[in-house]
Amino acid sequence: MSLDARQKSFIGYLLGLAQEGQEDRGALAALRSGLGKEPGEMARVHQHVVPYLPEARWNDCWYYITATLFGLFPRHRGGRSLGAAFSPLRAKSDSMEARFIALLNAHPDDLADHLRHAISLLKSNEQPIDWFRFLDDLLQWDHPEGHVQLKWARDFYKSYAGQAEALSDTNDDNTSEQEGENHE
């Protein structure tokens, strides 16, 4: 992870707003109020984001997106990428893989909408993510080599490969048993 101290403080601040038993419901509601808006339209969100913004303004939007999505689903699970969190949803609907692929292919200008839908799905299925990693990934989203998209894809399909392998092993065992029965 390549977050600096200020970026880690930002996520730490957000996590503090949702600390179990001490939730700041007003702050979380303020964060949610920015969903689907541009940073300049998020007056209630500024107080929670601006103190953590870097001097360079090229990536402010990723902080705002992270904050508003956190307000939507303020649950954290360390070490879990969005791809890993989204993976179990494939079993619920055939369309989940298509949604995930659309997310991976999203242009940075369209990413906020895709992420809002993805986080809503994760929330409704109680699949938390690592918010430190999430911000780190967003800050690197438009890297020319697409390494964030590749990491998410690997995490998404990793369990699928294990399931396919287990199914293949089961089928091999059944085939061997059937062949044994046919030879008797």
pLDDT in tens, 99-109: 999 999 999 99
φ, ψ of residue 145 in degrees (nearest 5): -85, -5
Rounded Cα–Cα distance for residues 3 and 148 (Å): 14
Q: Give which of 26, 138, 3 is closest to 82, Cα–Cα.
A: 138
Token pair recorded at residue 69: 């999505």
How sure is the predictor about 167, in pLDDT bands with cuts at 50, 70 and 90? very low
pTM of the model: 0.85
Going from N- to C-terminal start, the domains of the chain cover 5-183
Look at residue 173 in the predicted model and tell me its pLDDT: 52
3-state secondary structure of 40: helix
Query: Tokens 């990934």 map to which residue?
Result: 137
Segment 84-141, tens digit of pLDDT = 999 999 998 889 999 999 999 999 999 999 999 999 999 999 999 999 999 999 999 9
Q: Which CATH number fits domain 5-183: 3.30.420.40, 2.30.40.10, 1.10.520.40, 3.40.50.1820?
A: 1.10.520.40
Residue pLDDT, tens place only, 13-59: 999 999 999 999 999 999 999 999 998 899 999 999 999 998 877 78
